[in-house]
Structures are given as structure tokens and as C-alpha cells.
Amino acid sequence: MYFTHADEIWDAHPNLRALVVVTDNVLGAEQGHQRIKKLAEDIDRRQTAAAEAEMPEIAAWREAFARMGLKPTQYRCASEALLRRYRKSKEMPSFHPLVDYLNYVSMAFGTPIAAFDMSKVAEGIEVRPATGSETYLTFQGESENPAEGEVVFADPEGYAHSRRWTYRQSGKSVVSPETDRVLIVSEAHHAAAAEDLAAMEAELRGGLVDLGVRIVTTAMIDPSHRRLDFSYS
């Protein structure tokens, strides 16, 4: 299997950096209450210091969305949407032990995190402009076709596993109670992206172990290392 970005993405977004984490044993995941409590403290400090739009991680994603012709206040990257929701209620609904933990990691670092059930993905994922023929399944089970040129997470069978890049994932590959193997991807564009993603990797290495999830491999994606090939033993 693989994860990669198309050349068109690098041409348009040369500051892009990504962290990719391949995991299994997700069926055995347990709630990471202590990790989430610590991350919540980090989130509170972040939100006390700045509004979402002023955070460098979010501002860089807003610029990326603007370059794609999207209004940043209409289409927000996943981490901004989570932070805005959390600011209002100081709590998040529980979906799945892994997803719950990753949502808090995303907010603590201000950076979108996607998690894909790899049993629902054919061969691998390429982040690329859509051709317009891809199928995107909503969480309500409806099918949509992303517009030509829209950035999507696509597999070779023509499924779009996200829309508008980091705006919304697909219901097809969402993590569920039956999920055992998950691909975790976090992408950033801000100046300190490489350093912050390295810190996120350290958090995930500890946090995923605490949850009982096994890390198969990790990789940093940048212009000199654009693709990760991986397999499950």
C-alpha cells in the first residue's frame, strides 16, 4: 500500500509537510482519558493565547484554501473546525477511542489529522486534484462527485476519501468499531511545520501505545521524500 501527494500539489503548495503513521490492532484500542486530559490543558492554553485565525497553523491552512479558490471562512480545515467547536463547549462527543484521541491531538497542535480504515481503501491514497469522476460517500450514505480540480484523497478505484483536502472525510473509510488497520495523516503548511509534526509524532508514539494501538511504521513527507510504501505483516 502507499501514501503520496501528486506533483500538482507540491507545485501549488511547496511548504507542505506531512506526518504519516501506519497502525494496526485498532480493534483493541482503549480510551486514553489521561492523554486527553493533558491535551485538553494544552488546547486551553492555545485558545487563551490566540483566536483560531491567528494561530500560524490555521492561518497557513486558510492561505492554502484561498489558493484553491475556497473561502476560508466557509470551508475550514478540520483542526480549525474542531477548535471552534471546542471553544464553545470545552468538550467533544465520543466516537471511537482512536478518533477521540486524534481529535484532541489535532486541536493541541492546530493541525488537521485524517484517519482512514485501510480495509476500505484500494491499494493506497494519493492526494491530488480530482478529475470530477471520483465518488465521495457522505456520512449519510449519499454519493457526490467532487468538482474537477478539487483536492481529494483518492484511491485507484476512484473513491475520494475526503473533499476539499482537509475539509471533510468520507463516510466510506471512516474509523468504526470494526476497524483494525488505520492510516493516520497530518499535514501542515506553516513555517515550523516540520518541527511541530516531529513533536506530534512523539506524542502519537506514546499516546497510541497507551491506547493499545500498534504502530507499524511512520514517515515524514516533504519535497525530498514524497511517498511512503508500506505493508502489514
What pLDDT, in 10s, does the model give residues 32-60?
Answer: 999 999 999 999 999 999 999 999 999 99
Considering Cα of 120, then 123, then 127, then 128, what sign does the dihedral take? Answer: negative
Please tell me the predicted confidence (pLDDT) of residue 191. 98
Distance from chain centroid for Cα 152: 12
Residues 6+ apart with CB under 8 A from 205: 215, 218
**Residue 233 reports pLDDT greater than 80:** no
Given a cut of 90, whether residue 66 has pLDDT beyond it is yes
Residue with cell 507545485: 11
Residue 72 pLDDT: 87
pLDDT for res 49: 96
What domains are defined for the chain? Answer: 2-224 (3.50.40.10)
What percentage of residues in the chain have a pLDDT greater than 90?
98
Distance CA 23, CA 35 (A): 18
Q: What is the mean pLDDT of the chain?
A: 97
Confidence (pLDDT) at 50: 96
Output the pTM of the full model: 0.97
Q: Is the pLDDT of residue 149 over 90?
A: yes
**What burial class does residue 51 get, using C-beta atoms within 10 Å of its C-beta: 0-12 exposed, 13-18 middle, 19+ buried?**
exposed
> pLDDT of 78-96, one tens digit each?
999 999 999 999 999 999 9
